[in-house]
Amino acid sequence: MSAPLSPPARMRDRNGLYSMVAVDQRESLREMLARSGELPVTDERMSQFKVEVARALSPFASALLVDIDFAMQPILDADALAQGCDLIVALDSIHYDATGVAQSTKLRRDLLGVSWDTRVAGMKYLLLWTPGEWLGCDRAEVQEFIDEAARAGVDSVLEVIVREPDGSAPAPERQAQLVLAAARDTAPMGATLYKTEVPFRNLASADEVTRVSEQITEAVDSPWVVLSGGVAVEQFPEAVERTARGGAEGFLAGRAVWSNATSLTGNAVTDYLNTHSVDTMVGLREALRLGAARSAGVTAATDA
């Protein structure tokens, strides 16, 4: 008789990989929901959407990233979090422009020292990194976040999105250079999980995306995962496989999984999440598994 499977490490799936869903969007989500034409987009509607996402997708996710304002308590109150799916809490305050694009971030100091629910396994902070001054925060603030997670006994998830000094998004070639520079600059600060963009936003060859991913792996001592922002929804599974070949250990994705549901109303939202979004999660997990297996095979061959 084979030995029983041991439970996976926190925030990891049964394959030892990170297959995570983000539902911590705030004003950007309000903008998305407004496109359905059902106005106004109330706080209650925001919370209900997040509850529906959790109920449909947490059975297929190793962790769910939530915000405090609209997600965490409503999800727990609705018993919408599947057993085995951990929580990551966003500790960032994000300033958006009129279109819902993040412009700067600050640490939510009102959330420091909180005693969290036992299902919370991590804290997350979004850093808008530029080659010069970071947008809205500084190194001391990021370090304070990492230290707070250590105090609470949970993982620190540092999410890094690169920008030009004027706040604009860089072109794909430049973006890949900045993603690597940001990893080399911020990873030594000690976050236990690093989250970054897909190099080139996947707008390059498979070899190029994997090559830069390998360089990120060399620069980051902790595990790292990719976010879905900036990548076309239909290309994200391919991007996950390419980055996993280069050493990424997972994904933490929101819009690539559930964004199309925001244009729907009523029961159509639930139906979409339970069919299309679930299929997307299953496909992403398979892409991740294949990419990680290929990475391990290349590593084994090299070691031999």
Residues that are catalytic: 195
Start-to-end CA distance of the chain, whole Å, equals 32
Give the residue among 179, 195, 191, 95 at the shortest CA–CA distance from 144: 191
Non-local (6+) Cβ contacts of 134 within 8 A are: 127, 128, 142
* Distance between CA atoms of residues 11 and 1, nearest Å: 28
The CA dihedral of 54, 57, 63, 67, to the nearest 10 degrees, is -30
Contacts 24+ apart (CB under 8 A), 39-42: none
